Amino acid sequence: MCDTFVAVGNATRDGAVIFGKNSDRDPNEAHQLLMIPRTKHQAGAKVRCTYIDLPQVLETNAVLLSKPFWMWGAEMGANEHGLVIGNEAVFTKVPYEKNPGLLGMDFLRLALERTATADEALDLMIELLETYGQGGNCGFSKKFFYHNGFLIADRQGAWVFETAGKHWAAERVKDVRSISNVISIGADWDRCSDHLESYALEKGWCKDADEFNFSRCYSDLIFTKFGAGRERQCTTEEQLMKHRGRIDVRVAMNLLRNHGEKSDNAWVPGKGVMGADVCMHASFGMIRGSQTTGSMVSHLAHGQDTHWMTGTSAPCTSIFKPVWIESGLPDLGPEPTGTYDEATLWWRHENLHREVLRDYATRIQEISPARDSIEAEFIAQIPEIINQPIETKQAFTKECFGLADKAVSEWLTAIMEKPVQNARPLLDRIAWKNFDKAAKRHP
């Protein structure tokens, strides 16, 4: 489960394109930040995606990826040309291909590596879909199959691209747009696959072409309902419209931390066996197994793209750090896995995240003012840093990651010195005890 949104230039404060995404996956499915430089390849070479090999191109772009550690593809990322893409699981009536194939995350990385604009990326992803289809297990701790939706953006604009098997539709974004775990394109689109309507008519999903609606005809109602994608998409679009004309990086970060109208200073994320918010927290039950495991906000301006990455779970407990593709990432330690390892950025932050969850209402108030202050300091320095040499940007990114890591350590020490004031629900405690056991984490 995930949420992705974009605001193009006519809807933002400074005319830049603002992109944001939360990746929601298994609570122990560590997210990895990865920077890959522009690379030349030999003629006839192959590239191994998550499950299958594809012909490699002669040269691939430099890319920044935020990805589940175990797969080749990525949930979100950017390239050196100012192209950003995020993907969403969508649940459809079209049968899922369970044999190993291309995952939606593979489509995303291939497009970032091989194209320069949103239009080019859309064309390539359509070609890949129609040539290879999509299929294979997308789950970490258990088998999970789905189709994919994408939000593709560059400095000029954006596309929504949603699929059901080899069927698809694409909609050009006019001002603000969000996608979630639901087919969101209805009766209006700018491009579509050849047999999108006729296939639905053939299956009896609608009576005639006049009543055809991609979302209504192709969506699997049960999985779409319990995934709560429609509600989360409404939340993000309402907030985007509310801030239309004033959307900036800070607005995007706050939106990724949204817990819905029900949240207040006494809100408990682990309450109930149902519940899914933009900033998603796992808990007990089959439909509460997803957790926001990584977040990204991109500010796309001509020649001055800045990508804000958490590299850690739960944006409400994380700090966004600035990254530029030309200056790279600092040393983040070993690559994370599904097993606890304090030497990794992701798992080190999990110590804080999981301690906050033990008394969320109290402990989030202990860290959120400092979190916001640190990010505000980072943001305030960007206008001065953005035009500096690569070495200056590189040093600044390293400094930001270091300050964030130090803050996380200090917050953890501070909250552990205070007793739990509001015990979390029993089923939530059981769920997280099991998550820790699976990760071999012993708090």
Which amino acids are annotated catalytic? 2
Amino acid, single-letter form, for residue 204: G
Query: What pairs with residue 59 in β-bridges?
Result: 40
Q: What is the 3-state secondary structure (H, E, C) of the chain?
A: CEEEEEECHHHECCCCEEEEEEEEECCCCCEEEEEECCEECCCCCEEECCCCEEECCCEECCEEEEEECCCCCCCEEEECCCCEEEEEEECECCCCECCCCCCHHHHHHHHHHHCCCHHHHHHHHHHHHHHHCCECCCCCCCCCCCEEEEEEECCCCEEEEEEECCEEEEEECCCEEEEECECCCCCCCCEECCCHHHHHHHHCCCCCHHHCCHHHHHECHHHHHHHCHHHHHHHHHHHHHHCCCCECHHHHHHHHCCCCCCCCCCCCCCCCCCCCCCCCCCCCCHHHCCEEEEEEEEEECCCCCEEEECCCCCHHHCCCEEECCCCCCCCCCCCCCCCCCCCCHHHHHHHHHHHHHCCHHHHHHHHHHHHHHHHHHHHHHHHHHCCCCHHHHHHHHHHHHHHHHHHHHHHHHHHHCCCCCCCCCHHHHHHHHHHHHHHCCCC
Strand order through the sheet with 291-300: 176-179, 2-7, 17-25, 291-300, 306-309, 321-323
Cβ–Cβ under 8 Å, residues 285 and 273? yes
| Residue 197 identity (one-letter amino acid) | E
Pairing state between β 59-60 and 17-25:
unpaired
